[in-house]
Amino acid sequence: MCDEHTAEDNAQHLSRRQFGAAAGAVGMAMLLPSPANAMAVTGRDVSIKTADGTADCWFVAPTSGKHPAVLVWPDIMGLRPAFQQMGRRLAESGYAVLVVNQFYRSTKAPFLKAGESFDQPEVRGRIMPWREPLTTAATQRDAQAFTDFLDAQRQVDRSKGMASTGYCMGGPMTMITAALRPDRVRAGASFHGGGLVTDKPDSPHLMVPKMKAGYLFAIAENDDARSPTDKDALRTAFAAAKLPAEIEVYQGTMHGWCPPDSKVYNAAQADRAWARMLALFERTLA
């Protein structure tokens, strides 16, 4: 998950020529298309009190009406313009979306400067210590505060289920959220999630019996190559809990392939995974 091995994998995957093409694709990809019949939306920076401090986050929702809530946990590069754009795109499909800075204990967002990315050793060295406070218990405290915030917003329809999505290190956080609040969370989506299956007693896959959510797991091909049995453990856990789960390895993808500012962004596969997420939400959040 989002470590030096992943960075090395991705770097080896991209030749110098491919890096140039990827950089150009990132620039174009930042202009994510709006959905057909997109709703008018408005977003704002918000500060949310948690048990451990104040989290700087971004909330975006349609300008009228009440809608299902979605809690978004970003990847290890944090809350930034790419995730704001992704949140806006989701809101345009009719959802009230909170994109969080899970590193708020250590830094405000955005914390990357122009040209910085996780594949740079000095950037990894700065970010990795910020992960240490993000224990399961800390994520549970945050998930409670973020869910309470969403439910207090006038744009949120509490009569409908809530969803949580996560990217990279955010994948396990969706599962912690779903297990903590089965009364609210009816759908979860993990995109190139890391640490979903571990040998620890608080492994996210062991929390599945506490959930009442249907799930989408969109797995990167190189993540699957590194941990080929994780998808089987997830399938077993969800089948035992009698919960629906769509678990797929997306061919030709590298860890980090969904955010549009990623060097390994795969637009075609990211759009396909996005469509599968929307289909899940339509089935489960009504």
Give, for 225, the enclosing helix (H) or strand (E): helix 221-226
Rounded mean pLDDT of 68-92? 97
Q: Does domain 4-31+43-284 have CATH number 3.40.50.1820?
A: yes
> Which residues, 6+ apart, have CB-to-CB distance to 208 below 8 Å?
175, 179, 237, 238, 240, 241, 243
Q: Which residue has the higher pLDDT, 31 or 79?
A: 79
Distances 19 to 12, 22, 83, 265 between C-alpha atoms, Å: 10, 5, 22, 11
Instruction: Give the residue-averaged pLDDT of 29-35.
Output: 77
> Across residues 90-112, what is the average pLDDT?
97
> Which pLDDT score, from 0 to 100, does residue 6 have?
54
Cβ neighbors of 212 (< 8 A, separation 6 or more) are 178, 182, 183, 185, 186, 243
Lowest mean pLDDT among 1-5, 18-22, 129-133, 150-154: 18-22
* Amino acid at residue number 77: M
Confidence of residue 119 (pLDDT cuts 50, 70, 90): confident
**Average pLDDT value for residue range 241-253:** 98
- The pTM of the full predicted model, rounded to 2 decimals, is 0.92
Look at residue 15 in the predicted model and tell me its pLDDT: 44
Strands 96-99 and 69-73 turn out to be: parallel
Q: Would the pLDDT of 11 be above 60?
A: no
- The total of other beta-carbon atoms located within 10 Å of residue 71's CB is 29
Query: Would you say 185 and 73 are in contact if contact means Cβ atoms under 8 Å apart?
Result: no
- Three-state SS at 247: strand
Query: Is the CB of residue 170 less than 8 Å from the CB of residue 155?
Result: no
pLDDT tens track for 185-205: 999 999 999 999 999 999 999
Phi, psi values for residue 94, rounded to 5°: 105, 35
The answer to whether 97 and 70 have CB atoms below 8 angstroms apart is yes
pLDDT at residue 27, as a whole number? 42
Q: CB of 262 within 8 A of CB of 269?
A: no
Domain edges within the chain: 4-31+43-284
Q: Which residues contact 37 (CB under 8 A, 6 or more apart)?
A: none
Which letter does DSSP use for residue 46 in this model? Answer: E
